[in-house]
Structures are given as C-alpha cells and as structure tokens.
A = this chain, B = another copy of it.
Amino acid sequence: VGVIGSQAFTLPSPWGYQCVNNTCVKKLADGTLPLATLNECKLTCGKMGVLWPQPTSASLGSEVAYFLPSNVVLQPSCRGEACSLLQEAFAVFRDNLERYHPLYSNGKAPWMQPWQPDASAHSLVVKVTVTIPEVKMSLDTQEDYLLEVTTAGGVTTVTINANTFFGARHALETLTQLIEYQEIHGLLMVVTSASVRDSPAFSYRGLLLDTSRNFISVAALKRTLDAMAACKLNTLHWHITDTHSFPLYLDTLPNMVYYGAYSSEQVYFPADVREILHYAKVRGIRVLPEFDAPAHVGNGWQWGEMQGLGKLAEPWQSYCVEPPCGQLNLANPNMYSVLGQVYKEFVDVFGPIDLFHYGGDEVNLNCWNTTDEIISWMTRNGYGLHADAYYQQWSIFQEKSHKLLTAANKGVEVPGILWTSHLTEAGRVDRFLNNSQYIIQVWTTGHDPLIAELLQKGYRLIFSNYDAWYLDCGFGAWVGEGNNWCSPYSGWQKVYDNSPHQMALNLTNSTYANLILGGEAALWTEQVDDHNLDAKLWPRGAALAERLWTNPPTGWKQAEFRLIHHRQRLVKRGVLSERIQPQWCHQNEGLCYL
C-alpha cells in the first residue's frame, strides 16, 4: 500500500504539508521531514477531513492508499428498481473519480500506470446493501446510511448499508470525498480506514430555480443537479412559469409555449422533463414542480380570446411588482377548465407527485379591482369590492385549484406548498388555509413575527427567508438605478449561519423541530441564465446544504477549510462556482486572518 511518507519522489515545488493540530501546515521541504501533498494532508487532517456536508459522525484514519480508477468494483446487494438505479449511481461515482484528474475531458482522463506496482494492483471494492427495493422520494424517505472503509492485502473494502437507494447514493458521495487526486504521482488515493454514520437533520433540502424570467437549458439544469448531488441536497424546486415566459410544452395546450416561450428553442418538451427527472433521481433528488397562480401568470395565456374562451388572464401593466404583470381572471369559468388541463399535464409529466407547489405569492388586489369584468362579476354575485371579499375569492380559487390538482392526480391528495402572502398573514391564514393540507414556504425575513404565528398555529414550514437564502440579491437593479431590491449580497457565511431552528427559537422559545421540514435557497433569474448561473448558486448552495443536512451547532468559521476544498471539488465536476478566497488561503489554512 502506498502510504504517505513512503515516497522517494521530489516534490515539484519546495513546499509540502504536515498535519499539525487538525490543520494542514505548509512547510519548506528540507529533506528530513516526510511531507504530504496538499490533497494528501487535507484527506485525513481534521476530524471530518474534507467531507461536505459533515456527516452525523465520522472517524477517519490517517493514512491513504494509492489506486487507479480502473480497479474499482461494485458488489451490490439489492432488489428491484433500487438495483438499476444503484448501477447508474455507481457510474456517476466512477465518473466523479475520473473528474479528479486535472486533464479530464469528455468522460475520460489520461491515467498512467504508476511506477509503484502495488498502487497499480491496489483495488477498491465497494459493497453496497440496500434493503428497500422501492425507490420513491417523499418527505418520509429514509436517507441514512452506514459506511465502513478497511484496507488489507492490497484491497480497500468499502461497506455501505442503507435502507433506501437514496441513502446508498449519499454514501457513494461521501466515499468520493474520502478520495482525492494525488498531485505528484497522478493517481487516486483513498483514506485506508474510516467509519461514517450519517442521516440528515431536515427532510426537505431544496434549491429553487426559476426558468421563466430567463430560460435555463437542460444542460445547465443537469449541471445544477450534479452540484446538488455533491452536497446531498434533495429537492430541485422548479419554478417553471411566471409572467415573463411559459417554457413548458403541454401536449393539449400547445398555445401556452407558442405564445409564451421566448423562442421555439427555449422550450422544455415532455421528453426533456422526463430526462431531467430521471437524471435527478439517480442523484438522490426530487424535482418539485411549481405552477404559480393566480398571480405570476401572463405570457402564454394570451390566446384565450382568439380561441373564444374569453380573457384567461389579465395583463395589468401598473399593478404588479415587476413587468410584465398578469393575474388569472377569476370571473372567467373557462380559466378553471384551462387551469385543470394545465394541472393534468403537469401531473402527467412530473408524476407520480408526492408534493405540489401552488405558488400563490404576490397577488395584487388592485389588478382585479381595476378590471370591469371582475368588478362587475364581484358585484353581480354580491361579494362586494372590499379587500376581504377579494381574499375570500382568492381562497376559493386556491380551494378549486386544490380540487383540480387532486382530480388531475387521479384523486390522490398530496400536500401543497404555498408561499407566504397576504393570505397567510396574521389572523388570516387559518381562516383560509388548512394546516394539514398546506405547507408554507416563508420568504420574508428570518425575524418576521409571522413565522411564530404560523408555527404556533401548527403549519409545517420550509424556510427561504430572503435576507439570507435569496441568491439573486446584491447586484445592480435590473430596471432603474441602484442595486436590486433584496440587496445586499449574502455571503456563504450568512447562508451557512441561517438556522431555521434558531430563527424559530428566537421568535417562540421553541425550535418546533417537528414542524420545520427544512429550507431552500432561491435563485430568481431576472439576472441569471445558463452563462452566469453557477457562480450565484455555488458554493453558497453548499453552505445551505450543510446547514440542512448536518445542522451543526457551530458556525461558518468551523466549516471554512472544508468549504474552500469543496468548492474546488465542484469546479472539477464542471460547475463554475464562485471563488471565495485567494488560493493562498487554501494552501495556508488559517493564516489569511490578521
């Protein structure tokens, strides 16, 4: 076994590393000390090595064995769909090993036979046992796993035990992070002994991507899923449509993209969606579709009158938070027929669904209350025109939406998620929304008293408080002067320290651990497309991931060295992540502080 210190090679630089007090210290090679390379040191120095997110508990040995990716073998023990997915997940694992090579390109890396015969002969045997054959992601899916690494007689054996495919996949990700590229010899190395016990703190660990303000290609969505998988995030919340564009092709409603897509190339066809769903599943990720209504609609809905269905949605240029404006037309019963059809298509392409996002944010009452058709409908029916009358109608819209979705889902009710809105406000929420039916996604600030009220009334929450978890903030305004509305930018430190339990505790003196399902960072794409997506999502998405997977009692300071390294890992996987520090800080742990 090629263990650190057994080499006679000269480093191509005068510097090497030694692990001192859990820190990799850079030293001048004077020929007396056996110095490790930076990667060798990082793999084993510190209680958690370079694992991200931190597992529940881990114990890592201090030595590494060299090997080549050609000598990696899977020994699966599983049944059913879990088995075929495991094979696919193992192929992803193998590809990630190839990607450690600096000259990786298009699925291949130019590995050379190393000079040490024992490194060439060393093999990595990965024994994976999955108990449950079914593979279905829900809020109750067990994602825990056990992982053991031992080394003897030229073989490193990895034993993974998990209830579900998802747990096993997470274990493979952890194993990838016990492996690194050896910078001098041009091969891989694995920690020779390790024991990891792991399960997530929160069951909902999400990332929102908006594909309406700007279109995001399938390739960029897959790249995002790759990075999510590297961080054990489990939900891609796909905000597919909005007022700006309608990029989803619906078989029975082709007019939606004909009128609503930015161009004929900027469309997701059902086959694209199914490809994304499978790609996500192999990586342990559920894709949660959102169809935002009754506000945040517009482009795509213009064809109603031309087809004799009346106005399905109204564009109100003066009444919305950002142009183009639009809300569904409550007075037009045809709107509900079309909406039901939209839901049918959503369920058809995304199903089976276990969770659905109805949107429901930023309804502007003035939009409805300045339209003759709606005003006369409200009056005719005796509802009146006061705000409460409109809230009532909005809640009826929500009730009908729920019924239409359930019908589309062949009668199977699934929990619905709604954004915080005027409907969820103090004193209003429990009049209109049932807490067993709806999960509330909080996007106000982390100290909003509304959070306390929602928890005290028994609502399950997902945290996306914009003051820490909106990743689009802090740039120039997209129209007008100054910086965008939710500025300043939240650095990874703030993202990391944004603890849902702590926020609940501050507001209520209780963590409400049973009601807080998890959290989600949102990337609204007014100023994002394929070309600048990655740096806004990463590595801040990774900081979110450790908060939600590990929920450590410690803050960003204790995570910094590992995150710097994890960012480099994301880059190796093709993710154009933001750089957060000079490389000198990576090479000189802890010395970047005055």
Known: A322-B594, A531-B571, A592-B323. A582 touches B14 (CB 8 A): no
Bitwise, A562-594 to B at CB < 8 A (1) or not (0) is 000000000100001111111111011001111
User: Which of these, B102, B318, B476, contacts A491 with CB under 8 Å?
Assistant: B476
Complex Cα distance, B114 from A298, in Å, reads: 36
Bitwise, A470-508 to B at CB < 8 A (1) or not (0) is 000011111111110001111111100000000000000
| Interface membership of A262, Cβ < 8 A | yes
Known: A483-B489, A583-B215, A584-B213. A576 touches B532 (CB 8 A): yes
Shortest CB distance A238–B (Å): 17
Within 8 A of B (CB), among A508-541: 525-529, 531-532, 534-535
Within 8 A of B (CB), among A168-215: 183, 213-215
Complex Cα distance, B594 from A475, in Å, reads: 20
Shortest CB distance A13–B (Å): 6
User: Which of these, B261, B264, B476, B581, contacts A580 with CB under 8 Å?
Assistant: B476
Complex Cα distance, B583 from A261, in Å, reads: 11
Are B591's CB and A323's CB within 8 A? yes
User: Which of these, B474, B490, B526, contacts A488 with CB under 8 Å?
Assistant: B474
Known: A12-B264, A264-B13, A593-B479. A527 touches B583 (CB 8 A): no
Complex Cα distance, B299 from A482, in Å, reads: 39
Are B214's CB and A478's CB within 8 A? no
Copies of this protein chain in the complex: 2
Report B-chain residues with C-beta under 8 Å of the C-beta of A482: 491
27 residue pairs of the A-B complex, CB under 8 angstroms, read: A213-B583, A214-B582, A215-B583, A245-B583, A299-B584, A320-B594, A323-B592, A323-B594, A474-B474, A474-B483, A474-B488, A476-B489, A476-B490, A476-B492, A476-B494, A476-B580, A478-B592, A480-B593, A483-B488, A483-B491, A487-B489, A489-B489, A525-B579, A526-B581, A527-B578, A531-B576, A532-B578
Complex Cα distance, B577 from A265, in Å, reads: 21
Which secondary structure dominates chain A's binding surface?
Answer: loop
Interface centre among A12, A214, A582 (most CB of B within 10 A): A582
Complex Cα distance, B14 from A257, in Å, reads: 11
| Interface membership of A269, Cβ < 8 A | no
Are A579's CB and B527's CB within 8 A? yes
| Interface membership of A263, Cβ < 8 A | yes
Report B-chain residues with C-beta under 8 Å of the C-beta of A245: 583-584
Are A531's CB and B527's CB within 8 A? no
